[in-house]
Structure 1
Amino acid sequence: MGRKSKKESETPFKETFEPLSLESKTPATVVLLLNSHEEDILVKACEAIHTFAEKGDENKVCLLGLGALEPLCKLIAHSNRLVRRNAFMALGIMATNGEVNNALKNMNAIPLIIQKLTPEEDGVVHEFATLCLASLSVDITCRVQIYTNNGMPPIIKLLTSPDPDVTKNSLEIIFNLVQDYKSLQAVYELGGIPSLLELLKSDFPVIQHLALKTLQCVSTDKDTRKTFREEQGFEKLMDLLHNMHLTDLHAEALHVVANCLSDSETLQLIHNKGGLARLMDFVLTPHTPGIQSTAVKCLTRVAQSSDSRTVLHEQDVEKALVELLSVVDDNVKASACQAVAAMSFHPASKDSFRDLGGLPVVVQQLSSESSALREAATQALSSLTHSNKLNALAVYETGGHEALIQQLCDSSARTVANSAATLCNMAEQEIIQSSILSHGGIQALVEPLKSKDSQVLINTALCVAMLACDNEARAKLQKAGGLQPLVALLHSNNEEVLQNACFAVNVCTGDTSCAVEMCRLGALEILQEVNRSVNRRTSFSKLAMISLLNSNLSVKYSLTGHLASIDIITSGFYDVGKACLGQTVLTLEELSKQPVNQHRAIIVVNTATDHRETVDMPEERQPSQSESEISSKRGRITPRKKKEKDKQCDEVQEPRTEKQQSMMEDVSLQMLIKEARESILPLKDEKEQYAALARLVSEAMGGAVAIEKLHQFQWVLHHSELRFQLKSNVIPIGLISKGIYCHRALLFKCLADCIEMSCTLVRGEYNRTWNEVVLFRENSNNQRSSQPRRYIVDLMHQPGTLLAVDTPAALQYQTI
C-alpha cells in the first residue's frame, strides 16, 4: 500500500465510534453480553433473551444451562430503567419453566423482586415481577420468603392495577399465599377483601375465577367473614348467582357462599336480610345439573352445625329437598340425599321429611343404577331412622328393609355401613326385627363382618347384636358361618369395632351352642388377652368374657376354678381340670377323641333320662359292655334302693342301636338324683339337708376317709381301671365309686343343683375342691338371724359336718 500524503495525515481523529447495531444468532454470545458494562448492549441482550425464551421451554432450559439466570437476577436491580424492565421481562418468562424456577429458588432473588413492586416502577416491571413471583409462590418455602420479606402489602395494592396481566399475576400469588394461615389473615388486615370483591366485576373470566378461588380460601376464616359481611360480600355473590350470563362462575361462587353460611352468627344475619330465601330460590331454580348439585351441597355444608340446621328448618328447607329428590339427574338427587342426612340431625326435620312423604322417595333411590345415589340414599335413611321409631316404621312399610338387606352386598363400603346402621335402627322394633330376620338379614351380615373397613365393621357388629335376639336368630348366624368372623373382630385395635364385637358376642352367648362354638374359635383366649390390656379392656369386653363363661360352665370352671350358686350344672358339664391362663379348653367331643393317656380323667355329668338329651360323642366311641358292668357292680346305694338300681343297670346292658351313638345314660347318677329328691328334700331343717346330702355323696364315693389314711385311699387306681374299661379318658361321674375332694365336691354341686339347693364349687390346689353353702344361724329363741354365715361342707373326713369359713378346721379341709 502507498504511503499516505501529508494532507491526509493532517485530517483530525474523532474521539468515539458511531453507535453499532448488535446482531447475534448465538445464545451463548448474548448471555455473555449480559455482563457488559454498556447499557445499550444490556438492553438489547435482555431483549434478545426475552424473545428467545418466549419461543418455548427448550430455549428457557438452554439459557439456564448457559448461565443466563445469575446475571439477569443482578440486572433487575440495575440503575437504568430500561435495563431493569428488559431484565424482568426475560427473567419472568424464564421463571415459568419448572427447571428454571427450581434454580431461581436458590438465588435469593425474591427480596430484589419485591423491592421493584413500588408504584414508581414501570408497569412492565410489575407485570413480569409478579409473573416471576406467581411461579415461585407455588413452593411453600418461597411463600414463606415472600411473606417474611413483606411482599403482601405491595401485591395486594397491585390488585387494583389497571393492567389486567398485573392483576391476574397478583391474584395467583395471593391465592398461593393464602394456603398458609398467616397470609390468609394478612389479606383482610391489609384491606384485600374489597379489592377481591371488586374483581368479580372484571371483564376477564380468568380474573373472576381467581378472585372467587381466593375468596373461597379466605372466607374459611371467621374474622375474614366478618369483613366480607361488612363489605356486602354475600349480596354481591347472590347478584352474581342470579346473573345467568355468569353461569361459569356459579359453582365457585357457591363454595364461597357455603363458607359464609358456616357460622351461625353470619347465617342469622344473612337470614334476617332475606339472603337465605334468595339462596333457596336459587337452589330450586332449574340450572344445569352440575350447578344445582353444587347448590344443594352448599346447603349440606351449612347444615353441619345445630344452629344452622335450626335456621334452615325455619326456612322450610325440607320441602325444597323433597322436591329435589324427584328430579331426573342422579347427581342432584344424591346431593339432596346428603343434605337430608345432614338436616336429619335436627329432630324436627326428621318429622318434616316423614310428613312431606320424603321417606318413600328416598327408599326408591336404593334401586338406582347409580352407586353414588344408592350410597347417599342409605346415608339419608341411616340419619332419618336414628332414634325415630315412626321413621323406621315408615321405611319398613315401604319395604325399605328388604332393599337395605340387598345393599349389604354392595361394592361400596359406605353403602354397606349405612345399610347396616339403618337396619340396626329399625331392628329396635320387634315387628321390623322379625321381618328383617325372615328376609335373611342376619345371614346377609356375615360377609360385611369380614370387611377391612372400620365403619362397616362397627355398624355390622352392632347390627348383629340387635338381630341375634333369640336362639333361632343365633342359630341362623352360626349356620351361615358368622361366628368365626365375629370372634376374629375381637382382635381389632379399633375401640368401637372391639366394643361392638364384644356386645355381639355377649348377645350370642344366650345360645349354648353358639357359646361353645365361640369358645372353640378362641373367643375366651382373645378376651382374656384383651382384658389383661390396660388400653383395650372395657366394660364390654369384661361383660363378654363373663357371659361367655356363664354360657359354658365347663370352660368357666376350668379357667376360673369357681362356680357360683347361680351357676347351675346341667347335662353335658365336664371337669377337665385347671386350665392355664390363655390355654384353650377343648370341647368334650375333642377330648373324647383323644387316646387313653396318663393325664387326669375328664369327669362328665350326664343327668339326661333319655337319649335325646344325652351328650353327643364321636361315632368311633361306642358304649361298651364294660360301662354297664361298671355301673351294675358299684353297689354303693342304700339297701332300700338297691333293687331299683339293679333293675336300671340291667336296662343299661341292653344292646344299643346305630342311632344311639352317644354317651350312655349315667344310670347311677340318675338314681342318686332320685335318692336325693326322695330323702333330702323332705327334711325340714336346711342345715340337716346339706348334711344328709353330704353323707349321700360320701357314701357314693367310698365313704369317710381319715386324714391320716388318705394316702391309702386308692382312687387313682380305680380311675385308671375305669378309663381302661371304658377305653376313654372321659368318665361319667356316676361310675366313680372312689373319689376324693374334687370328685365329691363336683357330685355335691351337681346333686344340689338338681334338687334346687344352693351351693358353690371352688377349686383349690392339689386336688382340693370344696363347696360353700350359706345358712342363717338361729338364736337362743329358735329365731332365724338376719346375718347369714358361710360354711364349707365336709365330704371326706366327717361327712355332713359344716365348717364355718375361715376357721382352722375349714382351712385344713381346703389346703394340704
Structure 2
Amino acid sequence: MGKKVKKESEPPSKDVFDPLPIESKKAATVVLMLNSPEEEVLVKACEAIHKFAEKGDENRSSLLGLGAVEPLSRLISHEDKLVRRNAFMALGVMAANSDVKRLLKKLDAIPSIIRKLSPEEDVVVHEFATLCLASLSVDFSCKVQISDQEGLEPLIQLLSSPDPDVKKNSVETICNLVQDLPSRVAVRELNGIPPLLELLRSEFPVIQQLSLRTLVIVTTDTDTRATFREEQGFDRLLEFLCNKEFSDLHVEALQVLSNCLEDRDSLQLIHETGGLQRLLQFITTPTLLDIQTNAVKAISRVAQSSENRKLLHEQDIERSLVELLSLEGDSLRTATCQAVAAMSLHLASKDAFRDLDGIRAVVQLLGSEGGEVREAAAQALSSLTSSNQLNSYAVYEAEGDEGLVQQLHDVIPGAVAHAAAVLTNMAEQEVLRCSILSHGAMAALLEPLQSADTHTLVRATQALAALACDAEGRADLRNAGGLVPLVQLLRSNHKEVRRNACWAISVCANDEPTAVEMCKLGALDLLQEINSSANRRNKFSEIALQRLLDSNLSLKYSLTNTLAPTDITVDGFYDPGQARSGQRVLTLEDLSKQPVNQRRPVITINAKPLDTVSVDQSEERQQDSPTETRTASVLSSKGSTRTPSKGKSKGRKEDEKLRDEDESKPQQEVATVTEKPWMLPYDAAFHALVTEATKTILPLHVESEQYSALARLVSEVMGGAVEVDRQHDFLWELHLSELRYELQSNIIPIGQIRKGTYYHRALLYKVLADRIGVSCSLVRGEYNRVWNEVLLSVGMPHYPGCQPQPRAHLVDLIHQPGRLLRANTPQAKQYQTI
C-alpha cells in the first residue's frame, strides 16, 4: 500500500470579498456609510450616529454639516426593519436641533414620519417618530402639515401605547398641535378626551403635566367641555385634585376646572358631586401660592354667569375672598380683586363685600407697588361702586378718593381707566364729588385725556363729565387747562371717544365762561364739522353743539340767525352780525381792540352799572380760587368719619403761603402784574328803558296789549313810525356812523341808538321782552330784515265753544308800530322781505 497523501483544500472563489471589520474614529466616515447598500453597514452607521448625536447639540450641528440628515430621512422608509429603527433613533435625536428641523421641513419628511406611526411598526420606531414630531410641531407650518397629513389620529391612538416614552412624545405633539383651533375640534371628534383623561393616572409626572396642559387648551371649546362632562372628566379631575402627591400639578388641573366651570351645566354637576366645596377649600386652606391663585381664577371664571354668581353667593364666597385680600403675594391679590370684580356684578354680593369691610381692604391695595395689583384693585372698586351709592360712600370713608385721583397718573393704562370709572361712579353724590375735586382731580385728568389708549380716553372723558356738572368743577377744569385736550378729542377717529368727548363738552357748556373758552379753542367749528357728516354725527354731538350755542346766545344768534323765546338774553349779549360759513365770531374784547372801520357796527346790551360788575367779578374770582367752602361742605356731611382737617388744613396752608409771597413782593411789582380787565361799558339809557318798560308794560294783563305797547315803546325810542315808501328818507346809517365816530369804537350800546331800522328795533324788542318776562323770538332774514314772533291765543270765530289756539304773529315795529301780523299772511311776508 502506498503512503497516504494529505488532501489539499479548495482554493477560495475569486469573486467573493472577504468580510472587513471597520472601525472609524471620524463622523464624516460614518456619514458616508449611510449611503451603503449593505443593511448591516447601515444599521451600524445609524447606531453610531445616534450615540454621537445624543452627546449634545454641537454634535448634531456637526452631523448636519456633514450631510447626515438627508440620507437618514430616506432610511426611515427602508425595507429593513432594523435599519428603519436605527435611522429613526438617529433622526429623532437630531430633530431637537433647530437647523435640523428647518432642513427636515424642507425635505418634506413629515409624511414619511407619520406613515410609520401605524400599529404594525416597532415600538422603538413609534418612540423616535413621535419624538421627531414633538420637535417639529413647535413650528406653525409643521403643525399645519401634520394636521393636513392626518397625523393627529395615529397620535391619539398612541396615547394608549404600553411604552411611556411613546405616550410622552405623542401627548407633547398633540399639546403643540391644539394651539390651533382646528386641531382642538379634531381632538374631540377623534375621541381624544378619554385617553387624555387616562393619562392623569400615569406614574410619570411629565405625562400627567402634558395631558393637563392639553386639556387646558381643548376645554376652551364649548362642545369639548360637554364631551368632558360625558366622559366623567370631573370625576377624574377631582380625584386628581384630592391626591396631595400631585400637588405640584394642581395648578394645571385647576385651570382645566376653571375652563369647564364657565358652563352652567358643568357648575351644577360639580356642585352636586361636592367639587365646588373642594374648590373653595383650595381658596381657604393655606397651600402653595400658585394653587390658591388658580383656584381664585377658577372662581372668577365661574362668576361670569349670573346664575353662577348666585350659587357662589349662597356658598358665602365673599367672606373667603375678603380674607384672601390680606394675604401676601401680588398674583394672589390680583386674582382675588378680579374675582371680587366679577362677583360684584351680583347685587347681594356688593352689599356683602361692604358689610365684610372688603371695600377698605381693596382701597388699601391701590397703594401696592405691583402695577397689576393696582389695576385689579381699581377694577374691583369700579364694579363695586357701579350703581351703588353706599359702596361709593364706603370708598370715600376709606379715603379711597385721594388714592384714585393719584392713580390717574399711573403708567398702566388699565389702572388709569378703572380709577376714572370709580371716580365717575362716586361723582354722582355731591359730597363725594366735592371731595374728589379738592384732591385736584381735574388737573390729574389732563394726562389721561391725552392717552393713546382708547379705553382710557373713554373713561377719562366720562369722569370729566361727571365732575364738571357744577360750577366748581368747571372752574377747576378751566384753571387746570383741561379744555384744550378735551376739545382736541373731537378730532378722534374712534367713535366712542368722540361721542364721550361730545357729552363732556355738552356738560361743560352749561356756563358761559367755559362755553366761550371752548369756542375760542375751536369746539364750535369741530362740532359743526362733525354734525355735517352723516357718519360722524351722533345725538351727543348735536346736544353738544346746541348746549354750546345756548350758553353763548350772541354766538348762537350770529350763526343760526334765530333766538327762541326760551333763549333769554342777559347783560353782555351782543349782535356782531350774521356769520358766514366757516367764519370765526370774535369776542367783544377782541372787537373792542379793532380800530373804527366802515363795517357793520356791533350792538351791545348792558344794563349793569360798573360797581355791580366789580362785585360780581370779585365773587367769580373767589369761586375760581381754591375754596375752603367746598372742602367744608364735604367734611360736614352726615355720618362722615373721615379726618376733618385734612383737606381744609391743606387749603389754609396754600392760602397762607400765597399771602406771604404777595406781602414779600415790592408794591411796584404787584401793581405791574395786576392788569385792569376790559369791561363792557354801562348803558344807562338802556337801563332807563328797562325801568320804563317794567312800569308801563307789565301792568297790562292782556297779552296782545303787552306786545303792542312794547312795540310802540321801541318804535318811539328808535325814531318813530316810518312809511313804507319813505324808508329812503330815514337816515339811520348816518346816525350810526356819527355814533361810531363819537364813541371812537365799532361797539355801540343799544340804548344810544335813536334811529334804528328792522334789526335794531327787533333786537331792542327782544332784549326788553326778556327783561320784563314777555315771551318772543328773534329771527334774522335777508337784507337786514329782522323780526319778532310772538304766540297769541286766538279763538275760532265760527266755533265760539272752541278753546283758543296759540298762533304765531309778527310784531310791526316800523310801519304801524304795535300791529300784530298773522304769520305766513301776505302782510307778514311783505314785512319780512324787501
In the superposition, the TM-score normalised over structure 2's length comes to 0.86
Residue 338 (structure 2) aligns with: 338
Aligned-pair distance for 1:101?
1.4
* 1:118 and 2:113 matched: no
Tell me how far apart the structure 2 counterparts of residues 784 and 674 of structure 1 sit (CA, whole Å). Answer: 38
Match of 2:695 in 1: 678
**Distance change >3 Å, CA 737–CA 616, structure 1 → 2:** farther
Write the distance in 1 (CA, Å) between the matches of 2:512 and 2:11. 129
8 Å contact 1:262–1:302 — kept in the other structure? yes
Measure how far apart 1:475 and its partner are.
Answer: 1.9
Shift of 1:783: 9.2
Q: How many angstroms does 1:384 deviate by?
A: 1.2
Aligned to 1:4: none
**Matching residue of 2:747:** 730
The 5-angstrom pairing of residues 91-240 of structure 1 reads 91-240=91-240
CA–CA distance in 1 between the matches of 2:564 and 2:534?
27
Deviation larger for 453-462 or 767-776:
453-462
> Does the 8 A contact of 1:22 with 1:44 survive in 2?
no
- Give the 3 Å change call, closer, same or farther, for CA 50–369 of structure 1 in structure 2: closer
Query: Does the CA-based 8 Å contact 1:614-1:662 persist in structure 2?
Result: no
- Give 1:549 shift: 0.9
Cα distance 1:669–1:543, how it changes in 2: closer, same or farther (>3 A)?
same
> Offset of 1:443 from its aligned partner?
4.6
With normalisation by structure 1, the TM-score equals 0.88
Structure-2 change in CA distance of 1:406 and 1:659 (3 Å): closer
Equivalent positions of 1:395-434 (< 5 A) are: 395-434=395-434
Give the 3-state SS of the residue equivalent to 2:603 in structure 1. strand
The DSSP-based 3-state class of the residue aligned with 1:681 is: coil
Cα deviation per residue 1:757-786 (whole Å; 9 max; x = unaligned)?
Answer: 111111112222111111123566999961
Which has the larger displacement, 566-575 or 536-545? 536-545
- State which drifts further: 725-734 or 558-567: 725-734
Alpha-carbon spacing, 1:696–1:24, altered in 2? closer, same or farther (3 Å):
same
User: How far apart, CA to CA, are the structure 1 residues paired with 2:242 and 2:385?
Assistant: 37
Note if 1:788 corresponds to 2:788.
Answer: no
The amino acid across from 1:103 in the alignment is: L
Matches within 5 A, 1:160-559: 160-559=160-559
Counterpart residue number, 1:798: 816
Cα distance in 1, alignment partners of residues 750 and 167 from structure 2 = 96
Whether 2:825 is the aligned partner of 1:807: answer: yes
Code of the residue aligned with 1:233 in structure 2: it is G
Q: 1:134 to 1:16 in 2, by over 3 A?
A: same
Mean alpha-carbon deviation: is it higher for 537-546 or for 52-61? Answer: 52-61
Instruction: Measure, in 1, the Cα distance between the counterparts of 2:87 and 2:104.
Output: 14
1:517-545 CA-to-partner distances (Å, cap 9, x unmatched) read: 22222221121122222233222221121
Out of 207-216 and 64-73, give the one that drifted further.
64-73
Partner-residue secondary structure (3-state), 1:457: helix
RMSD over aligned Cα, in angstroms? 2.8
| 2:833 aligned partner, one-letter code | T
Whole-Å separation in 1 of the counterparts to 2:238 and 2:318: 22
C-alpha offsets along residues 56-93 of structure 1, whole Å, 9 cap, x if unaligned? 44544454455443333222111111221222223223
- State the shift of 1:159 in Å: 1.5
Deviation, 1:431, is 3.4
Residue matched to 1:639: none
Matches within 5 A, 1:734-753: 734-753=751-770
Q: What is the match of residue 655 of structure 1?
A: none
| Maintained 8 Å contact 2:795/2:804 | no
Q: How far is 1:496 from its partner?
A: 3.1
Q: 1:187 to 1:728 in 2, by over 3 A?
A: same
Amino acid at match of 1:165: D
Q: CA deviation at 1:749?
A: 0.9
The CA deviation at 1:190 is: 2.8
State the 1:815 CA deviation: 2.1
Is 1:571–1:614's contact at 8 Å kept on the other side of the alignment?
no
Whole-angstrom distance in 1 between the partners of 2:363 and 2:431: 19
C-alpha change, 1:12 and 1:669, in structure 2 (3 Å) is closer
Q: Does 1:770 align with 2:802?
A: no
| Shift in CA distance, 415/541, structure 1 to aligned 2, threshold 3 Å | same
1:761/1:770 contact within 8 Å kept? yes
SS at match of 2:756: coil
Give how far 1:118 is off: 1.6
Q: Distance in 1 between matches of 2:147 and 2:367?
A: 54
For residue 806 of structure 1, what is the amino acid of its counterpart?
N
Aligned 1:704-715 pairs, distance under 5 A: 704-715=721-732
2:615 and 2:491 map into 1 onto residues whose CA distance is 32
The alpha-carbon deviation at position 52 of structure 1 amounts to 4.2
Q: 1: distance between equivalents of 2:340 and 2:68?
A: 60
Q: CA deviation at 1:255?
A: 0.9
8 Å Cα contact 1:777-1:784 kept in structure 2: no
CA distance in 1, matches of 2:355, 2:738: 78
Between 1:269-278 and 1:525-534, the stretch displaced more is 525-534
The whole-number CA distance in structure 1 between the counterparts of 2:24 and 2:759 is: 110
Q: Equivalents in 1 of 2:571, 2:685: separation in Å?
A: 14
- Tell me the distance in 1 between the aligned counterparts of 2:123 and 2:65: 30
Structure 1 stretch displaced more, 229-238 or 59-68: 59-68
Structure-1 separation of matches of 2:266 and 2:209: 24
Q: 1:333 to 1:794 in 2, by over 3 A?
A: same
Partners of 2:795 and 2:805 within 8 A in 1: no
Q: AA paired with 2:823? A: V
Q: Is the 2:589–2:678 contact (alpha carbons within 8 Å) kept by the matching residues of 1?
A: no
Aligned residues: 770
User: Following TM superposition, by how much is the alpha carbon of 1:710 offset from its aligned partner in structure 2, in angstroms?
Assistant: 3.5
Contact 1:238 1:279 in 2 (8 A): no
Given that 1:611 and 1:662 are in contact with CA atoms closer than 8 Å, whether structure 2 keeps it comes out as no
Mark the CA change 1:181 to 1:371 in structure 2 (over 3 Å): closer, same or farther: closer
Distance 1:161 1:780, change over 3 A: closer
Cα deviation, residue 184, structure 1:
1.6
Residues 50 and 89 in structure 1, CA contact (< 8 A), matched pair in contact too: yes
**SS of structure 2 residue aligned to 1:771:** strand
Q: Summarize the Cα distance change of 1:474–1:13 in structure 2 as closer, same or farther, 3 Å threshold.
A: closer
1:658-700 superposed Cα distances (whole Å, 9 cap, x missing partner):
9796332212222222232233334454323323322332332
Contact map agreement 1:571 1:615 (CA 8 A) in 2: no
Q: Match for residue 632 of structure 2?
A: none
Long gaps (5+) in structure 1: 1-6, 618-657
| Identity in percent | 61
- Of residues 259-268 and 700-709 in structure 1, the stretch that sits farther from structure 2 once superposed is 700-709
How far 1:720 sits from its partner (Å)?
3.1
Q: Which residue of the partner structure matches residue 81 of structure 1?
A: 81
Cα distance in 2, alignment partners of residues 704 and 583 from structure 1 = 35
Once the two structures are TM-superposed, the CA of residue 701 in structure 1 deviates from its matched residue by 2.6
Contact 2:572/2:680 (8 A) holds in 1: no
Aligned AA for 1:811? K
User: Does the C-alpha gap of structure 1 residues 297 and 786 become closer, same or farther in structure 2, counting only changes over 3 Å?
Assistant: same
Question: Quick one: which amino acid aligns to residue 476 of structure 1?
Answer: D
C-alpha contact 2:282 2:291 (8 A) present in aligned 1: no
What letter matches 2:448 in structure 1? P
Which range moves more in the overlay, 452-461 or 547-556?
A: 452-461
**SS of equivalent to 1:603:** strand
1:475-531 superposed Cα distances (whole Å, 9 cap, x missing partner): 222222222222223323333333333232222222222122222222211211222
For residues 10-62 of structure 1, give each alpha carbon's deviation from its aligned partner in whole angstroms, at most 9, with x where no partner exists: 94534411222244455555444433322233323333443444444454445
Name the CA distance, whole Å, in 2 between partners of 1:780 and 1:278: 86
Per mean C-alpha deviation after superposition, the further-off stretch among 240-249 and 568-577 is: 240-249
Q: Specify whether residues 99 and 10 from structure 1 end up closer, same or farther in structure 2 by C-alpha distance, changes over 3 A only.
A: closer
Deviation string, structure 1 residues 96-123 (Cα, Å, up to 9, x no partner): 2222212222333222211111222122
User: Can you list the C-alpha shifts for 1:253-293, whole angstroms capped at 9, x where unaligned?
Assistant: 21111112111101111101110001111221111223222
